[in-house]
Amino acid sequence: MFIDHDYIEKILDESRLVSKEDVQVVINKAKNKEGLNHKDVAILLQLEDKDQLDSIYKIAGEIKESIYGKRIVMFAPLYVSNHCINNCLYCGYRRDNKFERRKLTQEEIKNEVKILESMGHKRLALEVGEDPVNVPIDYILECIDTIYKTQNDNGEIRRINVNIAATTVENYRKLKNANIGTYILFQETYHKPTYEKMHPKSIKGDYNYHLTSFDRAMEAGIDDVGAGVLFGLADPKFEVLALMLHNEHLEEKFNVGFHTISVPRLKKAEGMNLEDFPNVLDDETFKKIVAIIRIAVPFTGIILSTRENQEMRRELLRYGVSQISAGSVTGVGGYKEKEDRKSVNQFETCDDRSPLEVLKGLVNDGYIPSYCTACYRKGRTGERFMSLAKTGQIQNVCEPNALMSLVEYALDYGDDEIRNKVDKLIDNIKDDFEKKHVREMIEKRIERLRNGERDLYV
């Protein structure tokens, strides 16, 4: 199996013996974008010196901006069912938690989607528990079809990323044919003994089947896959190195690795106590890990959810995060019932700002919030996307499209404040677009947007 526990433990042990000078050698390699091997990553994971940590944060931020520019991708989760036959010890949906289980009807899904569209969202992450009887693949496919067909005024969902349990090649082909975006699945933990302990008497407890899910998805033709671990279950240093090994396995076998890596941190959920989990991450360790992931896999998107508070999200955007959720609700039917919902949330959220409030904060910090889904719809996925990212060309697509989507949002859903902020942002970055020879194109498309046209992406 490509996750070699002995190998990971060996290089972690060796990295504990290095000197501050050895660490600086690796930092210099990162700064010069020479590429890091597993031992280099392990050495960075041992970093404690404040000045060297500051160097790592600076390098990570520079790498992210050199590839993606100032654009930050926006999305929201949509929970359609909390039926689950697994008993994951960290999850509010676990089998032993006794509450009224629920899955949304197609009409209820339409209502949720219309609310999300009225917030300006164009990209959703579809979330369900694992229950082959109550939530079969046909139900998920019907949900996807309903979401794509539901339109509310100017609103429409243009990309659905899907986070469902590990399944068969046949089912992944069905998802591919349903025009999903990225297939997302968290390994939760790569440490096999911990994995088995966390998933007692569960279908999900088959470590190898879960681990090879992306192999089956890619065999079925899905070339954008999104990985992640739940930081706090096992040693975070082990998890980061395992992520690197998994990514390399996919690159070697399918010529493309992870499209995204999510970095959720263990949070309080129904039926569990954080005190029972000795590997819960403190803030400083969490920030270091995000920066190291950005340096280790520079061309992979890093996703941060509303598990983290506003301040942490703002800081991690500087160290490598390139996608964030906004206005999220983690309960089934929760958007419609937000004011008085009775459903159980999968986990607690910490940033409850509306999408508009999140956008204002991002623009204030000089970012370009993006609702763009053009890469998926124009076939820039898998190897094609990564080739553009690795040559630096993707920024010439991402930043203009991000700005188009932001103007579109401001016109359709914004208030006077966000429209004024967007106008000032455009003025501030005109020179940047002049250097990239796209200023005239952007100005013409903005004018067309203001005249009522939509979806003007390249």
**Predicted pLDDT at 236:** 97
Degrees to nearest 5, angle at CA 395 with 293 and 31:
40
More confident residue, 108 or 444: 108
Count Cβ atoms below 10 Å from residue 92 Cβ, excluding itself. 23
Tokens for 107? 């009409």
* 432 against 308, higher pLDDT: 308
Q: Is the pLDDT of residue 433 over 80?
A: no
Residue 75 in contact with residue 327, Cβ under 8 Å? no
Q: What mean pLDDT value characterizes the chain?
A: 92
The 8-class DSSP code of residue 350 comes to S
Residue 245, phi-psi category: left (phi > 0), alpha (psi -120 to 50), beta (remainder): alpha
- Which structure tokens are listed for 190? 């790569």
| Span 288-305, average pLDDT | 95
SS3 202: coil
Q: What's the gap between Cα 72 and its chain centre? A: 11
Burial class (CB in 10 A: 0-12, 13-18, 19+), 405: buried
Residue 57 has pLDDT above 60, yes or no: yes
Please tell me whether residue 208 adopts helix, strand or coil conformation: helix
Query: Would you call 303 helix, strand, or coil by DSSP?
Result: strand
pLDDT of 140 above 60: yes
| 234-253: average pLDDT | 97
Query: What SS3 class is residue 18?
Result: coil
| Residue 204 near residue 215 (C-beta atoms within 8 A) | no
Answer whether 318's CB lies under 8 Å from 69's CB: no
Q: What's the pLDDT score for residue 343?
A: 52
- Residue 208 has a pLDDT of 97
CA distance linking residue 279 with residue 293, whole number of Å: 18
CA pair distance 402, 406, nearest whole angstrom: 6
Tell me: pLDDT of 362 over 90.
yes
DSSP state of 305: -
Give percent of the chain above pLDDT 70: 97
Range 352-381 average pLDDT: 91
What confidence tier does 348 reach under pLDDT thresholds 50, 70, 90? low
Residue of 357, 391, 388, 359 lying closest to 375 (CA atoms): 388
**Ranges 188-202, 347-361, 375-389, most confident:** 188-202
Mean pLDDT of 402-417: 93
Summarize the confidence of residues 421-448 as an average pLDDT: 84
The amino acid sitting at 343 is S
Q: Flag whether pLDDT at 73 surpasses 90.
A: yes
Lowest average pLDDT, out of 151-160, 200-209, 229-238, goes to: 151-160
* CA dihedral (407, 304, 69, 181) positive or negative: negative
pLDDT given for residue 68 in this prediction: 87
Q: Looking only at Cα atoms, what is the longest distance across the chain?
A: 63
Contacts of 244 (CB under 8 A, 6+ apart): 38, 41, 296, 297
pLDDT of residue 341: 47
Q: Can you tell me the mean pLDDT for 13-42?
A: 91
Structure tokens at 164: 């469902």
Q: Over 60: is that where the pLDDT of 190 sits?
A: yes
Residues 6+ apart with CB under 8 A from 391: none
Q: Are 64 and 294 in contact (CB under 8 A)?
A: yes
Whole-angstrom distance, CA of residue 138 vs CA of residue 136: 5
In this prediction, residues 320-327 reach a mean pLDDT of 95
Q: Averaged over 39-50, what is the pLDDT?
A: 95
Query: Residue 372 in contact with residue 402, Cβ under 8 Å?
Result: yes
Confidence at 344, pLDDT banded by 50, 70, 90 = low
Joined together, the tokens standing for residue 423 give 């106008």
152: pLDDT strictly greater than 90: no
Q: What is the rounded distance in angstroms from the CA atom of residue 405 to the CA atom of residue 382?
A: 23
**What distance in Å separates the CA atoms of residue 216 and residue 209, rounded to the nearest whole number?**
10
| Residue 347 pLDDT greater than 70, yes or no | no
Question: Percent of the chain, pLDDT > 90?
Answer: 74
CA dist., res. 2 & res. 185, Å (int): 17
Q: What is the pLDDT of residues 119-133, one digit of tens each?
A: 999 999 999 999 999
Q: Cα(204)–Cα(213) distance, rounded to whole angstroms?
A: 11
Stretch 4-19: mean pLDDT? 95
Q: What is the pLDDT, as a whole number, of residue 345? A: 56
CB-count exposure of residue 76 (10 Å: 0-12, 13-18, 19+): buried
Give ∠ CA 334-340-342 in degrees, rounded to 5: 65
Q: Is the per-residue pLDDT at 340 higher than 50?
A: no
Report the pLDDT averaged over residues 141-151. Answer: 97
Q: What is the enclosing helix (H) or strand (E) of 423?
A: helix 416-435
Instruction: Determine the pLDDT at residue 337.
Output: 81
d(C-alpha 382, C-alpha 372), whole Å: 17
Burial letters for 301-311: b for 16+ Cβ neighbours within 10 Å, e otherwise?
bbbbbbbbeee
Q: pLDDT confidence of 458, banded at 50, 70, 90?
A: low
| Residue 81 predicted with pLDDT over 70 | yes
